[in-house]
Structure 1
């Protein structure tokens, strides 16, 4: 394979000088307000707290729609639910897996998985966890009418049955390496069958309540105001030091930053770097940590009949984007230029093979090649229109980078601001994408397997809302391949196709940004916070 180049020189941006020297942010003497972060050595944990705490106040960027784990494929929802509802397998801070509510997992053959249910676990109300609860929690995500946001992981599940008092057996129609790994996400979270059936569609809402086994229980949900959790004194593991974990919903970024600096809020995870990130990094009241992450920032092609329909135009635009400038200016140094969608933290198996494959894509500038591609394809007769989320500095600034890149190679690019409350419609509603050629999004796979990202482009996947199907052969084969080396070859082949044809243009890898008030410590610093009880180790600091 020849080396592919997808990065370029500056697209006429004034770049803030930054250096990268440590996992926790600090003022960089001699530089213009830059952040000092070692992006090659990201954190997984923070020092566990040692003292009991009456209450930890945490902020969310918006109020969750539901706390039912099957509807938890988003940041605020998972941040809360991870402390409430446990999964069969647990994602560790290092992004590996360990036993969860299943004390053992066995695979007697490639299409049979046997889960042994952990003994001595109870729901918050004291009722014991049973194999029936486990089977129910998985069964409600089966079938074409299932409404679970994780239903794509269940597409090859034939049956889920109780096969012993402490045992549940899953039968697959064919081997599926994604299903087995997904049991460490909210797809594998277990709820109490009786409570879920009694609440019906209200389960997981302010009026319907919730019943799970986690280290915190749901105490109250005051719609529009707060969600309050209480330490589960009957927890099978170590009971949290924090007696109460309360969530606020401060959506305005500057208000949230001020609340952290003044101590009105004790902590927050940011899925995009706030404009006040340098203020937080330099504060004497909080500690900002940057963690291992599976999150990436990308530009999605929304319409293959429009200005981005010709892959040569997408390739040219990708070649012209100055990702180094983007991560320094837009992400304030708290970002890594992306060459493929799945970055190094996805290399959970065969890392040498994935590392070698990543080097096929160079960071060298190639504006000449970009201009040549535009000349070959012919510049679109109409401007390329990119949707920008309203009130988002990251969206607006990224659009400026893309516009500068386009101008440098003869492409006219315009932006259209979409109100934040309507922006999500771009993912689900074709009518919302009319007149839109592309938009920006943070996205992520759920575990350390690059296939989980590239599976978005399989023709059967719910993420594939534009119908691109150029890597189906490799993706379907990889999903059924249980040998890691053989699977890596297939995934790398799919990666080549996707990164060449660029249905999504990779822009940056986003470390987890965690801010904690200095009176506490212990929150998980890595991406695992979305699926494992990240607050269970929070306590006071002497």
Structure 2
């Protein structure tokens, strides 16, 4: 069956004529975690798979919510939403899209073993009313269900059953299944072939329900981890587009008449998150955890010369921040966006007052293929902490190596970025990262950094429909986290895309998600 529908898609592609075929070669900085969008809460993986899978609703290029697989919705009670589904939609294997698919997908993504369950924190249950009507019940009045659903992609239930895949996979824990390497969505592109870490080929879905704005027939997704290789490939024409143009190479790329650069700051805020368990993971202090002392956390903060980090590691393109969320995120408060000043002597005095005049050792977990210039800013900060008398042991490695350690809590300090997607709301970082682990809360709370005061505010904000009351609650929770230095803010991450003149137009939104169904080629 799979071969039959793939051949049909290829045949439809061939009818366009070889001379007219448009192939976009996408040079990405890394591979996606899996073809299963529920396998890990990774924004980049979800953005790539959104070309294959779709949700009930979606964000437009200017981040407004619009209908997708659901045509309309209404609230039938404070805790029940009713969705009218789009009729006539087909999955890539030809199966019709119905309410059964929605219910099965929601049960799969909210399963206790799902790494993505935190993306639906208020979900309680769902039920089929008829073939094209579904009701979703939340655990209380909840204002952000539509935001959440933009990243909950819908699977075909029959396909899941046939391939023993009703349960989610987990790439962070190495749990694989049929959906890890196979896909069957409703989206604008079909997975034609895949060689992980080499090339994945997507072909246009000729039966997509929506009216395509793109003219792309084939996308070749090419993970190119080396920044220099990626730049060389773009300049030579081996690739047409990259969503991660290296900051240090932007002047060179901009100077090429055949390349266009799009650069701005994205929603993602970069911070350091700390191990606040009873003991450190790797340290010469064995009987306690120095990071649980607020004076030590403040010392780490004050020892960072953020201007030097911005100028050298980030090439002057990041936006220094004292806040834990970006200005565009509801819940942002300008008064919180003020950093502690760089004060090396003050940092040393704080360490001495806390009982560590000679510092202590700890493990610092950073990724070589994660955040923008992550390796460089981690090395810079490690050096700054060393000058304060601390002894950071910098562990650098690819996401595939570092993520399992983070999930298991095997770290003392980690570099961490959060874009508050898909919610585009501070409740995202509050419920998924800052809240103590409980149910769907605290899925990314890897370092035991919960606080009862923050938990209480999060729980109240999660059921408050009045934004004039809800947003101040979130601001207060973020203020506590800031005052306690539970996290050390660094910057709002820059984003730079680059494309050859073979790409006529594309849409760059601040969520840093390529939407190639809105892209045209010459």
Q: TM-score range by the shorter chain?
A: 0.7 to 0.9
Aligned pair 1:465/2:446, yes or no? yes
Look up the match of 1:321: 304
Q: Write the distance in 1 (CA, Å) between the matches of 2:474 and 2:349.
A: 30
Deviation at 1:363, TM superposition (A): 4.5
Question: How far 1:404 moved relative to its partner?
Answer: 5.3
On the 8 A contact 1:84/1:212 being kept in 2, the answer is yes
1:114 is displaced (CA, Å) by 1.1
1:241 to 209, 215, 220: 215
Q: Tell me the equivalent position of 1:415.
A: 393
Where 1:190 maps in the other structure, the secondary structure is coil
Q: Does 1:268 align with 2:242?
A: yes
CA deviations on 1:212-247 (whole Å, 9 max, x unpaired) are 111111111134431111111111212330110111
Whole-Å separation in 2 of the counterparts to 1:298 and 1:238 = 40
Could you tell me which runs of 5 or more consecutive residues in structure 1 were left unpaired when the two chains were aligned.
1-50, 348-353
Match of 1:511 among 494, 498, 512: 494
Partner of residue 198, structure 2: 225
The verdict on how the C-alpha distance between 1:122 and 1:107 changes in structure 2, with shifts beyond 3 A counting, is same
Match of 2:180 among 190, 205, 219: 205
Contact 1:61–1:76 (Cα < 8 Å) also in 2? no
User: CA, structure 1 residues 281+260, in 2 after alignment: closer, same or farther (shift >3 Å)?
Assistant: same
Q: Which residue of 1 aligns with 2:227?
A: 253
What does residue 335 of structure 2 align with? 359
Instruction: Give the counterpart of 2:504 among 515, 521, 536.
Output: 521
1:340/1:506 contact within 8 Å kept = yes
Give deviations 1:83-119, integer Å, cap 9, x for gaps: 1111111112223312221111211222111111123
Residues in 2 aligned to 1:78 and 1:513: alpha-carbon distance in whole angstroms: 19
Q: Which residue of 1 aligns with 2:415?
A: 440
Partner of 2:5: none
Q: Which moved more, 1:72-81 or 1:471-480?
A: 72-81
Q: How does 1:320-339 map to 2 (within 5 A)?
A: 320-339=303-322
Taking structure 1 as reference, are residues 536 and 361 closer, same or farther at Cα in structure 2, changes over 3 Å only? closer
Q: For 1:118-152, what per-residue CA distance to the aligned partner results, in whole angstroms no more than 9, with x for missing partners?
A: 233222233332111112111212343xx332212
Q: Give the one of 520, 530, 534 matched to 2:515.
A: 534
Residues 1:379 and 2:362 are matched in the alignment: no
2:73 aligned residue: 105
Aligned mates of 2:497, 2:81 — CA distance in 1: 36
For the Cα contact (< 8 Å) 2:266–2:512, is it kept in 1?
A: no
Match of 1:451 in 2: 427
1:126 correspondence with 2:99: no
Aligned-residue RMSD, C-alpha? 2.7
Contact 1:522–1:535 (CA<8 Å) still a contact in 2? Answer: no
Which fold has the larger relative contact order, with Cα–Cα distance below 8 Å and residues 6 or more apart in sequence? 1
Q: Give the corresponding residue for 2:37.
A: 69
- SS in structure 2 at match of 1:515: strand
Distance 1:273 1:295, change over 3 A: farther
For residue 159 of structure 1, report the CA deviation from its aligned partner.
1.6
SS in 2 for 1:69: coil
Aligned position for 2:118:
152
Query: Structure 1 residue 496: deviation in Å?
Result: 0.4
Q: How many residues align?
A: 470
- CA separation of 1:166/1:329 partners in 2, compared to 1, >3 Å: closer, same or farther? same
Give the Cα–Cα distance (whole angstroms) in 2 for the partners of residues 70 and 534 of structure 1. 19
**Whole-Å Cα distance in 2 between the matches of residues 339 and 86 of structure 1?**
35
Aligned pairs for 1:305-316 within 5 A: 305=279, 306-316=289-299
When residues 380 and 73 of structure 1 are mapped into structure 2, their CA distance, relative to the original with a 3 A threshold, is: farther
* Structure 2 counterpart SS, 1:95: coil
Report what 1:6 is aligned to. Answer: none
Distance change in 2, residues 1:362/1:382 (3 Å): closer
Q: Using structure 1 for the length normalisation, give the TM-score.
A: 0.80
The reply to whether residue 192 of structure 1 matches residue 156 of structure 2 is yes
2:275 to 297, 302, 308: 302
How far apart, CA to CA, are the structure 1 residues paired with 2:99 and 2:417?
Answer: 36
Q: Deviation per CA, 1:439-465: give whole Å up to 9, x if none.
A: 223333213101211221101211111
CA contact (8 A) 1:303 1:438 kept: no
Superposition map of 1:24-43 within 5 A: none
SS in 2 for 1:256: helix
Q: What is the alpha-carbon distance in structure 1 between the residues aligned to residue 20 and residue 268 of structure 2?
A: 32
Residues 82 and 529, structure 1, Cα contact 8 Å, conserved in 2: no
